[in-house]
Amino acid sequence: MAPPGVGGPALRAPSDYQAERGAAVGPCRWCHLPRLPYNRGVAPRDLSQPLREIVYSVAPGDAGRRLDIWLQGIVTWRSRSDLQRRIVEGRVLVDGQPARKGAKLQPGQEVRVMVDGPATEDVPTDQIPIRVIHEDQSLIVIDKAPGTVVHPVGRHVMDTIVNALHVRHHSGEGVPGDQPPMIVHRLDRDTSGVLAFAKDETARKRLGADFEARRVDKSYLAIVSGSVADDRGTIDLPIGPDVDADIKLKVACVADGKPSRTDFEIVQRSELLSLVRCHPRTGRQHQLRVHLAAIGHPILCDRLYGDPTAVTVAMLDPTRADPDRVLLDRQALHAERLAINHPMTGEPMSFEAALPPDLASLVAEP
């Protein structure tokens, strides 16, 4: 679901909830902004509005820590130097008063960080494409454009699909549903295709349970390097953390990993490329990307598991008149189909998204 935070005068500070619950309010595991509990009758932050301030409460275990170092650990979308500058300029308040960078924190203190703009470049939400495949009171399904971030995470605070959906919900243009859409599954930034959101808490819980229990059916199209020999097959390789990688989120096929299975079939092949339809039977992080790389056919332009180099005309045919023209510069992965049961009626539903122009043009190359 859309990760909540604190923003705007209508919402209470996490310290208020700490007094009620007797525990500090930690950051969201997705966007690292503060969490507010739903069982207190308070709605999540309106992600159609810019984040103006964030309020944290110091936990007992953080007693004695320096203010600037403590902030760096929880405000991951700003650098330490940026946070130090904010402290010097008086835009970080401890119990309502400006504080020094080296101030030692005490349990229960309220630390308020003033945010003067989004953490990323200003991307107007009307420039984030929302192509609706289906929408009703409980569900919205879109065709996600490549290069768009699904939800606020890290440095992406206002430039995400969730932000754009919140703006759309609050626009008053007859959008069905009483609540702004909530996340039930995700796609990587450069992956395009079918993406579903719940529009109320009941739908979110039911859809989330169906995804968790693998009661949904998904298929993806991937353009991979090389000519895959088998017309169809199964990749049954366990996936776990890549302990040798410098990038924390990278995973690998490892003997002690979690069971992971992908069925595949060839749609089209040439000497240089193959268009593969993949059916993930488990839901591991980066599963398709890792599995295809493991059999020697990484997805084109995959920055983590393959060759990130952009595909140019020269790579396919060096005799062409426009050899430097770029055909593709993002990972060639597309969520083609999603089949679910409607969260309220139980009706079987299937949604499809055609290959976007960049991938369609590449497979159409002679």
First-to-final CA distance of the chain:
43
**Active-site residue identified among 62, 188, 242, 302:** 188
Q: Are 263 and 295 in contact, with CB atoms under 8 Å apart? A: no
| Crossing angle for the helix pair 67-74 and 80-88, to the nearest 10 degrees | 130
What is the SS3 assignment for 17?
helix
Q: Are 43 and 83 in contact, with CB atoms under 8 Å apart? A: no
User: What are the C-alpha distances in Å from 285 to residues 26, 105, 241?
Assistant: 24, 37, 10
What are φ and ψ of residue 222, in 5° steps?
Answer: -130, 140
Specify whether 188 is catalytic.
yes
CA dihedral for 266, 360, 211, 257, sign (positive or negative): positive
What tokens does 82 get?
A: 């940026």
Distance between CA atoms of residues 136 and 349, nearest Å? 13
Which secondary-structure segment (H or E) carries 201?
A: helix 201-212
What tokens does 88 get?
A: 């010097």
CA angle 251-247-283, nearest 5°? 30
Q: Which amino acid is at 297?
A: H
b/e burial code for range 164-181 (CB count within 10 A of at least 16 → b): bbbbbbeeeeebebebbb
Tell me how long the chain is.
366
User: What are the C-alpha distances in Å from 357 to residues 165, 314, 362?
Assistant: 24, 19, 8
Active site residues: 188
